[in-house]
Chains A and B, each alone.
Chain A
Amino acid sequence: MGILEALLGGFAQATSLEVLPYLIGGAAFGLILGVIPGLGGHFAMAMVIPFLHGLSPGAGIAFLLASHSTVAQGGGLTTILFSTPGCGQNAATLLDGPAMRNKGLAGKAAGAALTACFLGAAFGVIVLALLIPLLQQVVLIFGPAEICMLVLLALTFVAVLGKEDISRSLIAGLSGLFLAMIGLENVTNQDRFTFEVMALQDGLPLVPVILGLFAMAEMIDLWVTGGSLSGQQNRQLTPRQTQAQIFQGVGSAIKHWWLIVRCSSIGTLMGLVPGLGSTTASFVAYGHAKQTSRNGETFGEGNIEGIIAAESSNDAVEGGALASTIAFGIPGSSSMAIVLAGLFVLGLQTGPVIVTHHTDLIFVMIFTIIFGNLLGTVAGMFLVNPLVRLTALPSSLLVPVLMVVIVTGGYAVNSSVFDIGIVVLFGYLGYLMKELGYSRSCLLIGFVLGAILEKNLFLATQLDGAYFFLQPVALVLLIVTLGFLAYNIWSLRRRSLSTGSGKAGATPSEPGADFESGVAELNGSIEIWFTGIAGAAFAVALVTALGYHSIPARTPVLILSVLLALTARQFFISWRKYRQYASMTVLSGIVSDYPPLRKALQMVVLALLLMTFIVIAGHYAGIALFMFILLKLISGKELFFSLAITASVTLLLFILFELVFGIELYRGLLYRFMAGYKLF
């Protein structure tokens, strides 16, 4: 069948009355799942698969892919409005989304995000459609050598993301690379930095790390600063204002069409390469936007271009990811493996046959993604208004509820209590990094790309020899990377020369310098402890790594050596400047003098309590007790109000997770003991 014929056939099917209800149902389901942190598009599709039996191919494809395509939109909304990215794909939106919300521009940010998401997704699948005749050749371009070079290119974006403070950003990025080394190394089966903990064998779990680093850290911050998410009370938007802002947002997304095209291209390219995925794509696109924008300096302070870049690229990934799935029937990601399983259930043979004989179904996929995203965008716009009103709620109410939701999502990803610990631990780490000016984005990029780089570097040298980077595509990518790096170093130097200090690039900005006096000293003294403890940990890790065989040892030794040197340097910089305050963080005195620090320490204790409750009494009892303590005992809410919130949130989570999703949340040691389980 000809392409045009297939296109029309696909369009007719996707808009037929038989298919449309499934498309709408899937899109609604995905949007709801996107709002819940932790459960991504992967989970949405796994839930849908059992319902595919007996559906026609068109309806089944629409149901399956629509549920996957709207997840990013739901996540984008919660990122902007509640600072809780659902999954990695929305983490980059956190850099500017909440900042716009704080300026009273939540509606505009949401409108732009939803529109960018839709346009990005549409762009991705249009590229896919154009590539159909060349699909196989394009997919095969990216072997281990090319992936290596592409990852290196993506890593150089660390330089752009953190160029205000290159030293701290490098520490963050290298720490991310180091964290990626934790777990079983798959060339020699060496356990690296796992301390014999079985849960660490597979490495640190990505989604809980992201939830902690971004969502949980924001909750701790909100708890410490108090107030509400919408900022000052008088900034509360009326529904009419919100509506007007949404349209402004749509307008500004369309106005930045060229940015969307570029960022969507980045997303599509990243999607083509197995393993890179939407998290990397959104950060690289963000870095690109920052690099090329005339207002690059305002990125991170609520620049709408940052939101548009991140949200347009994360959905464009889908078009690329579908390419290898369709071209060869070989999935590029676990989500795509589920798509294939779904296609099989629908009775479709996958692989080249689908390209030659069922081109119309590829267009059903394409139109499903376009229409699904359009539906998600429109439905999302209706959701903005009620959600915006929730942001006016005081933090004393929002923080307990959102923290519980985040922790529940963190558990549900792998049904692991250990992951709740990861969420909490990385929550503290993320909060500290935010306060001290270490880029969390750089850490995340390093973490996501570290393992991919190491694996593909090994494979590239095995398959293509030591000079693998001299192959045509790899060489082009290498030249681009070097050029990009050189340009950035040059512009950094130029900037430092023009500021006259001659070493602005090397001298870190003062942490929290814009706060009221005394805070800089406090943060400086905390940084002494932070870099001191981190440095000691890196030193221990380095000694441990030196004990491994050469293959598993070489990457971590290299990373840790540089990391240790940079951390030591940072330690001495803070030490020179703030050593007289170093004792400030030793609990005495300051705790009572300075409420934010007291509240931060309070949250450390409370989060530990939450974990202990969950481990002993089970998930529901644990979260209920936690919410009640925060609402009644700490924030002093009315007894009945506290009980009502506690009960209804717990009940809602129970219905959602146990009854709708069929996920059994942790029952607790006490229950397990009574039911006859061996505890350890």
Chain B
Amino acid sequence: MKESTTKKISIAILLFSAAIVVLLSMGGHINFTQAAVDDHPEVNTRSFYDGAVIRLIIPNNPGGGYDEYGRLISGFLERYTGARVQLVNLPGSGGMRALGELFKAPADGLTLGLINGSGIAFNQVAETSQMGFEIEKLSFIGRVSRDIRVLTVPAQGAYPSFEDILGARQALKFGATGFGGSTYVDAVISRHIFNLDVDVIHGFNNSSAVRLAMLSGKLDGAWSSLGSVSDEVASGQFSLVLQIGEERNPILPGVPTTHEFNGESLTPDLLQERLRIWSELHDIGRPLVAPPGIAPERLAYLREAFRLAMHDQALINRAAMSGRSIDYASGEEMEKYFEDLTQISPEIQAYIVESIRGEL
């Protein structure tokens, strides 16, 4: 009896101290590195990252699109930074929750995040629902991918080309998900620029529901990202009739661009300006960012590591295998995109606002 009590006590003490050690070491880890930085600001960046833990913030749940990109790049970021990369999924509020964490996190270069740059940029221009975040102040590491936006129609439908849509005799129905989302805004802008007779039916739960409605003949078309329909296009269920951009994307040589058609109601200058800003907003894509104000040498280090990672043949192969398109752009280029946005003309700004509100 006595022996078993002693045994119990020793097991209890052992377990408890083990738990304490684990918890302390977990909490202490970042603090140690933090202290090291404060005491020796000249410490070599490479040795700072060696063995450190980078938290990579993902704005959706495991299994979501950003999560897949996060898991894709994390191993390669580890290889080129020397740090361990831990994914932290913070889903919610259309990415605003993850963005909030990026603005709260310390600017020590140990917190990174993937963000929906295009969506945020649209809202930035329209000055809506940004929760007061000044996006251009983020430290841009580079771009992981960008969506190629395409107008999709059912392959067996009555309007197999954009010319057919332009010449349609009756009102068409384009499907969209949420109000002010990209499928919605693209539909509204294209309707306005090309003077289409289109009802935008929005409120679908997700893009899958839109596509099923197209297949059942309830909808005539919908905007989407190439990535989400490429499989179904390959299998002959949908056709692509238009892509956003000035030049045809090399992987879509047969699909005309928005710049190839003239909007009848607009002067050429105004048309060009609107088409340009529309495609530029989509070019921002999905950047990798860090909190505002991280030290220049660490930013440079992270940018270089990211550049090497994105050009690693193994990453490129793996992305291709997972069906995820990658499209690298440097941190400097991303800064430039956001700088351009601050110089946007009031007319264009008003135009974007109207498109998000569906008032065009």
The DSSP consensus for interface residues of chain A is: helix
> What is the distance, in angstroms, from A202's C-beta to the closest C-beta of chain B?
5
Q: How far is the CA of A462 from the CA of B234 in the complex (A)?
A: 30
Chain A residues near B11 (CB-CB < 8 A): 644
Interface status of A337 (Cβ within 8 A of chain B): yes
Q: Which of B27, B100, B235 contacts A198 (CB 8 A)?
A: B100
Q: How far is the CA of A680 from the CA of B16 in the complex (A)?
A: 33
Complex contact A351–B212 (CB within 8 A)? no
> What is the distance, in angstroms, from B221's C-beta to the closest C-beta of chain A?
14
Complex contact A647–B12 (CB within 8 A)? yes
Q: Would you list which residues of chain A between 377 and 422 have a CB under 8 Å from chain B? A: 414-416
Chain A residues near B219 (CB-CB < 8 A): 463
Q: How far is the CA of A679 from the CA of B204 in the complex (A)?
A: 37
Q: Which of A140, A337, A648 contacts B215 (CB 8 A)?
A: A140
Interface status of A624 (Cβ within 8 A of chain B): yes
Complex contact A139–B212 (CB within 8 A)? yes
Complex contact A344–B322 (CB within 8 A)? yes
Complex contact A341–B93 (CB within 8 A)? no
Q: Would you list which residues of chain A between 658 and 675 have a CB under 8 Å from chain B? A: 658, 662-664, 667, 671-672, 674-675
Nearest A residue to B75 via CB reads A50
Complex contact B201–A462 (CB within 8 A)? yes
Q: How far is the CA of A345 from the CA of B235 in the complex (A)?
A: 17
Chain B residues near A644 (CB-CB < 8 A): 8, 11-12, 15-16
Interface status of A677 (Cβ within 8 A of chain B): yes
Interface status of A581 (Cβ within 8 A of chain B): no
Q: How far is the CA of A237 from the CA of B34 in the complex (A)?
A: 56
Contact pattern, B 6-29, Cβ under 8 Å of A = 1, otherwise 0: 001101110110110011001100
Q: How far is the CA of A488 from the CA of B93 in the complex (A)?
A: 41
Q: How far is the CA of A341 from the CA of B321 in the complex (A)?
A: 10
Interface status of B61 (Cβ within 8 A of chain A): yes
Instruction: Say whether, besides A46-B61, A139-B212, A187-B179, A676 and B34 are in contact (CB < 8 Å).
Output: yes
Q: How far is the CA of A214 from the CA of B96 in the complex (A)?
A: 30
Interface status of A558 (Cβ within 8 A of chain B): no
Chain B residues near A629 (CB-CB < 8 A): none
Instruction: Say whether, besides A198-B100, A414-B91, A676-B108, A328 and B237 are in contact (CB < 8 Å).
Output: yes
Complex contact A651–B18 (CB within 8 A)? yes
Q: Would you list which residues of chain A between 304 and 360 have a CB under 8 Å from chain B? A: 324, 328-332, 334, 337-338, 341, 344-345, 347, 349-353
Chain A residues near B215 (CB-CB < 8 A): 140, 328, 330
Complex contact B22–A189 (CB within 8 A)? no
Q: Which of B8, B12, B106, B208 contacts A677 (CB 8 A)?
A: B106
Q: Which of B13, B92, B97, B322 contacts A341 (CB 8 A)?
A: B322
> What is the distance, in angstroms, from A405's C-beta to the closest C-beta of chain B?
16
Q: Which of A188, A330, A334, A338 contacts B232 (CB 8 A)?
A: A330
Instruction: Say whether, besides A463-B173, A651-B22, A201 and B212 are in contact (CB < 8 Å).
Output: no
Instruction: Say whether, besides A463-B218, A662-B87, A351 and B235 are in contact (CB < 8 Å).
Output: yes
Q: Would you list which residues of chain B between 166 and 211 have a CB under 8 Å from chain A? A: 173, 177-180, 199, 201-205, 208-209, 211
Interface status of A643 (Cβ within 8 A of chain B): yes
Instruction: Say whether, besides A187-B202, A328-B211, A674-B31, A646 and B16 are in contact (CB < 8 Å).
Output: yes
Q: Which of A143, A341, A352, A664 contacts B63 (CB 8 A)?
A: A341
Q: How far is the CA of A664 from the CA of B84 in the complex (A)?
A: 14
Chain B residues near A676 (CB-CB < 8 A): 34, 106, 108
Q: How far is the CA of A188 from the CA of B180 in the complex (A)?
A: 9
Q: Would you list which residues of chain A between 191 and 205 have a CB under 8 Å from chain B? A: 198-199, 201-202
Interface status of B254 (Cβ within 8 A of chain A): no
Q: How far is the CA of A331 from the CA of B16 in the complex (A)?
A: 46
Complex contact B232–A328 (CB within 8 A)? yes
Contact pattern, B 40-55, Cβ under 8 Å of A = 1, otherwise 0: 0000000000000001
Q: How far is the CA of A458 from the CA of B178 in the complex (A)?
A: 13
Interface status of B339 (Cβ within 8 A of chain A): no
Instruction: Say whether, besides A328-B237, A651-B19, A338 and B63 are in contact (CB < 8 Å).
Output: yes
Interface status of B239 (Cβ within 8 A of chain A): no
Interface status of A447 (Cβ within 8 A of chain B): no
Nearest A residue to B217 via CB reads A140
Interface size on A, residues (CB 8 A): 78
Q: Which of B15, B205, B231 contacts A344 (CB 8 A)?
A: B231
Chain A residues near B268 (CB-CB < 8 A): none
User: How many residue pairs between the two chains, A and B, have CB atoms under 8 Å in the bound complex?
Assistant: 199
Interface status of B81 (Cβ within 8 A of chain A): no
Chain A residues near B94 (CB-CB < 8 A): 201
Contact pattern, A 453-476, Cβ under 8 Å of B = 1, otherwise 0: 001001100111000000000000
Interface status of A616 (Cβ within 8 A of chain B): no
> What is the distance, in angstroms, from A481's C-beta to the closest C-beta of chain B?
22
Interface status of A247 (Cβ within 8 A of chain B): no
Nearest B residue to A355 via CB reads B235
Instruction: Say whether, besides A648-B15, A678-B104, A328 and B212 are in contact (CB < 8 Å).
Output: yes
Q: How far is the CA of A144 from the CA of B201 in the complex (A)?
A: 12
For chain B, the bracket of interface size reads 35 or more
Complex contact A202–B22 (CB within 8 A)? no
> What is the distance, in angstroms, from A464's C-beta to the closest C-beta of chain B?
8
Complex contact B203–A186 (CB within 8 A)? yes
Complex contact B16–A647 (CB within 8 A)? yes
Instruction: Say whether, besides A334-B63, A345-B321, A459-B201, A675 and B106 are in contact (CB < 8 Å).
Output: yes
Chain B residues near A202 (CB-CB < 8 A): 92-93
Nearest A residue to B129 via CB reads A189
Q: How far is the CA of A662 from the CA of B84 in the complex (A)?
A: 13
Q: Which of B30, B91, B178 contacts A189 (CB 8 A)?
A: B178
Nearest B residue to A675 via CB reads B30
Chain A residues near B18 (CB-CB < 8 A): 647, 651
Complex contact B93–A50 (CB within 8 A)? no
Q: How far is the CA of A464 from the CA of B97 in the complex (A)?
A: 37
Q: How far is the CA of A43 from the CA of B71 in the complex (A)?
A: 15
Complex contact A352–B92 (CB within 8 A)? no
Chain B residues near A53 (CB-CB < 8 A): 318, 321
Complex contact B211–A330 (CB within 8 A)? yes
Q: How far is the CA of A47 from the CA of B178 in the complex (A)?
A: 29
Interface status of B267 (Cβ within 8 A of chain A): no
Instruction: Say whether, besides A644-B15, A647-B16, A324 and B27 are in contact (CB < 8 Å).
Output: no
Q: How far is the CA of A538 from the CA of B64 in the complex (A)?
A: 36
Q: Which of A139, A186, A458 contacts B177 (CB 8 A)?
A: A186
Q: Which of A143, A624, A662 contacts B216 (CB 8 A)?
A: A143
Interface status of A512 (Cβ within 8 A of chain B): no
Residue of A186, A337, A624 with most chain B CB atoms under a 10 A cut-off: A186
Chain A residues near B202 (CB-CB < 8 A): 186-187
B interface list, Cβ under 8 A from A:
8-9, 11-13, 15-16, 18-19, 22-23, 26-27, 30-31, 34, 55, 61-64, 67-68, 71, 86-94, 96-97, 100, 103-106, 108, 129, 131, 173, 177-180, 199, 201-205, 208-209, 211-213, 215-216, 218-219, 231-232, 234-237, 318, 321-323
Q: With A198-B97, A463-B173, A677-B105 given, name 8 new contacts (CB 8 A).
A: A42-B62, A186-B178, A274-B212, A330-B211, A334-B63, A351-B237, A644-B12, A650-B23
Q: Which 9 A-B pairs have the closest CB atoms?
A: A676-B106, A644-B12, A46-B62, A46-B63, A351-B235, A647-B16, A647-B15, A338-B63, A640-B12
User: What are 5 inter-chain pairs, A to B, with CB distance below 8 A?
Assistant: A47-B62, A415-B88, A654-B26, A658-B26, A671-B27
